[in-house]
């Protein structure tokens, strides 16, 4: 006989009001409402809400009191329904406190041979929930300790490989914690030593630590003063471009693109990025992905780089440069179309040799610009497309490369 699947109805008071799932670690907030710890910690600490999700009352305290009675009832119910496939929830570990964190840090400092073990324990704590992350962030000296390890000032061992592992571990923890803006400002005010340490990781670290480094660096430069942005070293661009080439992870790729968006408008940074091979890498990225946000970010950086002669030259040097930019118009989003048309506008204004104009015809750029005038695009994008078409109408207007159906939209 076929097995009959039994649908188990979970008692309503066992269900978390936020996630609507069976609670694994029920805790009660100041308003008397019980939630699953993971859900309410995300609500309070990650989303930074100060109200009770059910009552909408302000939470005068963020203390979460374990509801042991309810947890035991849930465990007993799970045991009773084990024959129906319900797994018993484990008894949760107690939340960490600042004294435990300080003890780990002190042991790592006093006994270098235990440093890596202590850091791994600290990472396990940070991964155990939003409350634990908050406790580590708010423990005096904890974040500074992690930065000192990243800068290779602490947890030194005889073997350099252990030193590197400790630095990588500390960087992974720091990225997971998400240091505050005030902490980041302190770290980058150390004559560049912290940023230099991150660059070193970008050069020599493993994939995980390099991904963490670019994300921390991006956060640091979000709060940096303009002088530091202008003085960005060429090697920063080279290593950031390498992150894009290696395609470590989507979060790392997005962080690298956002990092370039922050840096490129300042000083000679567009030239530094172009010289580091950013344009070729961005074109290759656009060829390989159709993910909306990645395309928008890549086109935004490419638009910035085409604001300098070096960037435009690199785009035209790539065999698929103009074609892929044109292809992304009307295929990504309004933002993506706007950035792509801006790129083509820069090319048509400042790099429009006869060869380039013919290539724009042959790869469909002109046809796509005509199409922009006929579809639902933003008024700014349409106006910019119209300006490009008018600028070179003598060369393009009577070309056989433009489909007859689109000629009617060609601006007079």
Residue pLDDT, tens place only, 3-13: 444 567 888 88
φ/ψ of 176, rounded to 5, equals -65, -35
pLDDT at residue number 29: 93
Dig out the tokens for 173 from the structure. Answer: 């923890």
Give which of 399, 412, 323 is closest to 373, Cα–Cα.
412
Contacts of residue 246, defined as CB under 8 A and 6 or more positions apart, other chains included, come to 207, 210
pLDDT tens digits for range 147-206: 999 987 666 554 567 778 888 999 999 999 988 889 899 888 876 788 889 999 999 888
pLDDT of amino acid 47:
81
CB–CB of 204/235 below 8 Å?
A: no
Q: What is the pLDDT of residue 44?
A: 87
User: So what's the pLDDT on residue 267?
Assistant: 93
Give the chain's residues under pLDDT 50: 1-5, 158
Strands 65-66 and 34-36: unpaired
Residues sharing a CB contact under 8 Å with residue 204, sequence separation 6 or more, in sequence order: 164
Secondary structure (DSSP) of 269-306:
HHHHHHHTTHHHHHHHHHHH---HHHHHHHHHHHHHHT
Q: Please list, residue by residue across 264-280, b when 16 or more beta carbons sit within 10 angstroms of its beta carbon and e when fewer do.
A: bebeebbbbbbbbbbbb
């Amino acid at each position: 006989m076929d097995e009959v699947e039994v649908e188990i109805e979970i008692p309503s008071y066992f269900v978390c009001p936020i996630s609507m799932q069976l609670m694994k670690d029920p805790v009660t907030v100041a308003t008397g409402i019980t939630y699953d710890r993971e859900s309410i910690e995300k609500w309070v600490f990650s989303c930074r809400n100060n109200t009770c999700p059910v009552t909408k009352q302000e939470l005068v305290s963020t203390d979460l009191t374990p509801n042991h009675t309810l947890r035991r009832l849930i465990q007993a119910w799970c045991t009773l329904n084990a024959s129906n496939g319900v797994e018993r929830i484990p008894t949760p570990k107690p939340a960490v406190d600042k004294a435990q964190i300080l003890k780990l840090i002190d042991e790592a400092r006093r006994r270098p041979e235990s440093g890596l073990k202590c850091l791994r324990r600290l990472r396990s704590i940070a991964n155990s929930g939003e409350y634990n992350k908050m406790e580590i962030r708010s423990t005096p000296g904890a974040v500074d300790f992690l930065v000192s390890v990243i800068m290779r000032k602490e947890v030194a061992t005889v073997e350099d490989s252990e030193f590197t592992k400790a630095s990588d571990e500390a960087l992974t923890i720091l990225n997971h914690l998400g240091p505050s803006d005030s902490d980041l400002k302190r770290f980058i005010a150390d004559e560049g030593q912290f940023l230099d340490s991150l660059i070193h990781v970008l050069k020599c670290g493993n994939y995980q630590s390099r991904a963490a480094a670019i994300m921390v660096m991006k956060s640091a430069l979000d709060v940096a003063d303009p002088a530091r942005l202008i003085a960005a070293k060429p090697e920063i661009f080279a290593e950031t471009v390498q992150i894009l080439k290696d395609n470590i992870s989507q979060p790392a790729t997005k962080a690298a693109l956002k990092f370039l968006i922050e840096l490129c408008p300042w000083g000679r940074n567009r030239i530094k990025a172009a010289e580091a091979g950013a344009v070729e890498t961005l074109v290759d990225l656009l060829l390989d992905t159709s993910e909306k946000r990645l395309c928008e970010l890549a086109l935004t950086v490419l638009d910035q780089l085409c604001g300098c002669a070096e960037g435009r030259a690199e785009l035209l040097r790539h065999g698929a440069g103009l074609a892929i930019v044109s292809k992304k118009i009307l295929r990504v989003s309004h933002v993506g179309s706007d950035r792509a048309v801006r790129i083509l506008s820069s090319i048509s204004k400042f790099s429009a040799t006869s060869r380039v104009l013919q290539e724009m015809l042959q790869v469909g750029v002109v046809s796509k610009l005509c199409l922009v005038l006929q579809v639902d695009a933003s008024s700014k994008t349409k106006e910019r497309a119209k300006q490009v078409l008018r600028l070179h109408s003598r060369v393009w207007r009577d070309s056989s490369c433009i489909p007859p159906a689109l000629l009617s939209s060609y601006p007079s």
